[in-house]
Homo-oligomer: A and B are copies of this chain.
Amino acid sequence: MQAVDDEFLTPEPDDEAGEGEPARFTLSDIDIQRTIEALVFASSEPVSEAYLADRLPRGTDVAAAMHQLAAFYAGRGVNLLRVEDRWAFRTAADLSFMIRRDETEVKKLSRAALEVLAIIAYHQPVTRAEIEEIRGVQTSKGTLDVLMEAGWVRFRGRRRSPGRPVTLGTTISFLDHFGLEELRDLPGLEELKGAGLLSGRIPPNFNIPIPSLGDDLTEDEDPITQLDLEELGLLAPSGGDE
């Protein structure tokens, strides 16, 4: 469909037979318009009149139909426009701000970010060092920043262990976004296996933690203070990471 080049204009066998005849089948005017609408709509690129003519009954006055259609859409929110010698639907110029305004374009989460997020979800409360241990690679600060920016990860507290590392956990927005009622809804080992996500040989000591329930700190966590955050440089004002 996206290919509108002439080389794709392979006529059907019965076309050949009907060569020279006025039309192999007939469509009412409205059906011609409907077909054009559908073809232009579904195409990923502007569509030539020749492309349309090939798909319409022989003898259809495509040019005329296009102008009728263009007139029909002229007052609508979407216009049928001629772009060079091809046709495409475009948002009406006076409304284009509606589309652009929202261009906080959605970013795909990177694989690293997904991994870190998943580890935080399953293993929380978890420290950065623990995440790195599970992943086997260092986590760039940018990755955590992205997850914080998305609002899915938060600082929970500080582990009562040497160095008092900060513990990380997920947020309510995280549950909302991923359609989970509670953390315990995350599938466990058997369920991941059953869904085919874990496959092959799994070592006997392999386990998947069941995430803790609430937001309450565990006994080996201390609450986190504003001071802590600043001290740790976690609240760096500039976003010059990544």
Binding site for B on A (CB under 8 A): 1, 30, 33-39, 41-42, 55, 75-78, 89, 91-92, 95-96, 98-99, 101-102, 128, 139, 141-146, 148, 154-158, 164-166, 179-181, 184-185, 187-188, 191, 194-197, 199
Q: A41-B89, A155-B187, A158-B184 are in contact. Are A199 and B141 (CB under 8 A)?
A: yes
Assembly CA distance A226 to B194 (angstroms): 39
CB distance from A70 to the nearest CB of B (A): 14
Contact among B42, B128, B146 for A91, CB-based, below 8 A: B42
Q: Is the CB of B141 within 8 A of A38?
A: no
A-B interface, 5 closest residue pairs, ranked by CB to CB distance from nearest: A37-B77, A145-B196, A34-B77, A38-B77, A38-B91
Q: Is the CB of A157 within 8 A of B180?
A: yes
Please name all residues of chain B whose beta carbon is closer than 8 Å to the beta carbon of A184 when the two chains form the complex.
Answer: 158, 164
Assembly CA distance A102 to B47 (angstroms): 13
Q: Is the CB of B145 within 8 A of A158?
A: no
Q: A128-B191, A145-B196, A196-B142 are in contact. Are A77 and B41 (CB under 8 A)?
A: yes
Assembly CA distance A33 to B75 (angstroms): 11
Q: A38-B95, A38-B98, A39-B98 are in contact. Are A158 and B185 (CB under 8 A)?
A: yes
Q: Is the CB of B195 within 8 A of A148?
A: yes
Please name all residues of chain B whose beta carbon is closer than 8 Å to the beta carbon of A155 when the two chains form the complex.
Answer: 185, 187, 191, 195
Assembly CA distance A76 to B89 (angstroms): 14
Please name all residues of chain B whose beta carbon is closer than 8 Å to the beta carbon of A35 when the two chains form the complex.
Answer: 77, 95, 98-99
Please name all residues of chain B whose beta carbon is closer than 8 Å to the beta carbon of A91 when the two chains form the complex.
Answer: 38, 41-42
Contact among B99, B128, B158, B180 for A38, CB-based, below 8 A: B99
- Closest B residue to A146 by beta carbon equals B196
Please name all residues of chain B whose beta carbon is closer than 8 Å to the beta carbon of A34 when the two chains form the complex.
Answer: 75-77, 92, 95
Contact among B144, B191, B194 for A196, CB-based, below 8 A: B144
Q: Is the CB of B154 within 8 A of A179?
A: yes
Contact among B1, B33, B199 for A101, CB-based, below 8 A: B1
Assembly CA distance A78 to B43 (angstroms): 12
